[in-house]
Homo-oligomer: A and B are copies of this chain.
Amino acid sequence: MFHYLSSRSVDSAGHSHPGPEKMTTLAMLTITADDGTRGYAFGPPEVIRPTVIEAFVRKVLVGQDPFDRERLWQDLVHWQRGSAGQLTDRALAVVEQALWDLAGRALKIPVYKLLGAYRDKVPAYGSTMCGDDLPGGLATPDDYARFAVTLVQRGYKAIKLHTWMPPVSFAPDPAMDIKACAAVREAVGPDIDLMLDGYHWYSRTDALTIGRALEKLNFAWFEEMMNEQSIASYTWLAKQLDIPIVGPESISGKHHSRADWAVAGACDILRAGVPGVGGITPTMKVAALADAFGMNCEVHGNGAANLAVTAAIKNCRWYERGLLHPFLDYDVVPGYLHALPDPMSADGFVQLSQQPGLGEDINFDYIAAHTVTNY
């Protein structure tokens, strides 16, 4: 567990916003093979806690072949049931990521090539932070429009808006969301792909209203506008709308729940991210499931592991780069890395690192100097 400087703060509902620069805590999991090869993965300290490592991860991993990823993952999944919620999918994902990183480092090959690459660079969409009430931030439709123009100037060929959520005083408001989307479309013109990921608990009827507006604005997809626990609601909406519905992102159930969504026609494009479904391999399984159904699987979230998956599969259009905000510079390298894992060129492509493993160029000296606790 170590500290690094960050200018992000989290609001009372868990959404990231810009904030004063301050020391933030991150955990780095290290898995060491008998020959000394190591694999690394980062995660929130509250996810990859020492008690979780002790109670489950050590028990499953120590003494085993780190290349037995499927068996080790399945063993951890079995432990999940009796873990009283402690061994989360996110914790599982950190462990599995470290195993992949170890494999890549041991074999001296990037993980996306280990997976069997589909491409060496992936187009990125700029994914904004949620709306706020900061003057000049993301407080108005015009703020989104201005920010979108700067994102296009930076090279993005697609932008996804996260709009306003509580505790922002005026959220949720379908009309405001539509105004922000309209303002961005007006500002960037017809050739930039746009997506909306707004308030997550709209009613069916509000969701339909927003969806129809997005169709007129030629948006590329509409994401998590209702509680994802209700497959029926998504099936109801997807049947009526032409605009692709993307999901699910937040529900549990790994690849199994995604199969239920595909069968129900609850979405047009499946969604899975490495932390959310418990690792790189289960994300690949969701992508395979989607592929079997003739569907895309848009990978949720940024970072080296999600990037590796997007480069290994065909049926994902974009890498999600963000979260972005006018007050923050995403291209600043955090202290614990020597370089961004997802540098983007001026034409909007993220090039995959050719470093062995996940491609995170870790600044071990920085981490050693800023370590809070070793475990």
Min Cβ gap A334→B in Å is 29
Contact between chains at B256 and A70 (CB < 8 Å): no
Query: Complex formed: what's the CA distance from A76 to B14 in Å?
Result: 46
Decide if A118 touches B70 in the complex (CB within 8 Å). yes
Chain copies in complex: 2
Contacts of A258 in B (CB 8 A): 292
- With contacts A291-B285, A292-B285, A292-B286 taken as known, whether A116 is within 8 angstroms of B68 at the C-beta atoms is yes
> Are B71 and A118 in contact (CB-based, < 8 A)?
yes
Per-residue 0/1 for A290-318: is the Cβ within 8 Å of any B Cβ (1 yes, 0 no)? 01111000000000000000001110000
Interface residues on A, range: 35 or more
A255 with B68, Cβ < 8 A, contacts A74-B118, A107-B109, A281-B116 known: no
Say if the beta carbon of A186 comes within 8 Å of chain B: no
Bitwise, A63-74 to B at CB < 8 A (1) or not (0) is 001011111011
Q: How far is the CA of A90 from the CA of B256 in the complex (A)?
A: 30
Complex Cα distance, B288 from A73, in Å, reads 14
Residues of A within 8 A of B (CB): 65, 67-71, 73-74, 103, 107-109, 113-119, 255-256, 258-259, 262-263, 281, 284-286, 288-289, 291-294, 312-314
What residues of chain B lie closer than 8 Å to A65, measured between beta carbons? 113, 117
Chain A at the B interface: mostly helix, strand, loop or mixed? Answer: helix
> CB < 8 Å: which of B285, B294, B312 contacts A70?
B312
The answer to whether B314 and A70 touch across the interface, beta carbons within 8 angstroms, is: yes
* Assembly CA distance A288 to B288 (angstroms): 6
